[in-house]
Structure 1
Amino acid sequence: MDILKTIVQIVYIAICIVLTVIVLKQEGKSSGLSGALTGASETFWSKNKGRSVEGILEKLTKILAAVFVILSVVLNLDW
């Protein structure tokens, strides 16, 4: 059982590092806010953001955050 807990802890640390890097690579929301103020919010870029690198990073962030929370709960259980 100790080996399984060690493996889960290693995966948890790896997810923490990857999640930190992905969040730091994302653009700030302020860049989109200035376009919304000038009326340029309906652009090709905003409509197809889900297929871009930024959209992929957002989806990956959500998935890794969910796995992070689940592993946090699992690691706090009494084994």
Structure 2
Amino acid sequence: MRTVLMVIQTIVAIILIAVVLAQPSKTNGLSGLVSGGTSESFYSKNKSRTSEAMLSRVTVICGIIFAILCMVQNIIQ
């Protein structure tokens, strides 16, 4: 049982790392300062339907699963 949980946790950790690395940067740097911040566009209005939103959801789900697996392994030990 413990070995199965460790394997699942390793797989979830690798997926979590890959998803975090695939997410785009949130900072605008100096370009946001010069241009005045956010601009209204089709992309910004429909942000919940983009792949960025999907990556964000997958990150949260993998993080929760990883935390639960850590707690279960600690209880089993």
Shorter-chain TM-score tier: 0.7 to 0.9
Aligned counterparts of 1:64 and 1:39: Cα–Cα separation in 2: 31
- Summarize deviations over 1:12-40 as a string: whole Å, max 9, x none: 000000000100010111039828x6243
Instruction: Give the one of 6, 13, 29 matched to 2:26.
Output: 29
Q: TM-score, normalised to structure 1's length? A: 0.80
CA-atom RMSD in angstroms: 2.2
In structure 1, what residue type is equivalent to 2:60?
K
Residues 1-79 of structure 1: pairs in structure 2 closer than 5 A: 4-31=1-28, 34=32, 38-79=36-77
**Partner SS, residue 53 of structure 2:** helix
Gaps of 5+ in 2: none
TM-aligned CA distance change 1:70 to 1:41, over 3 Å: farther
User: How many positions carry a matched residue from both structures?
Assistant: 75
Distance in 2 of aligned mates of 1:7 and 1:78: 12
- Extract unaligned runs of 5+ from structure 1: none
Superposition misfits of 4+ residues, deviation over 3 angstroms: none
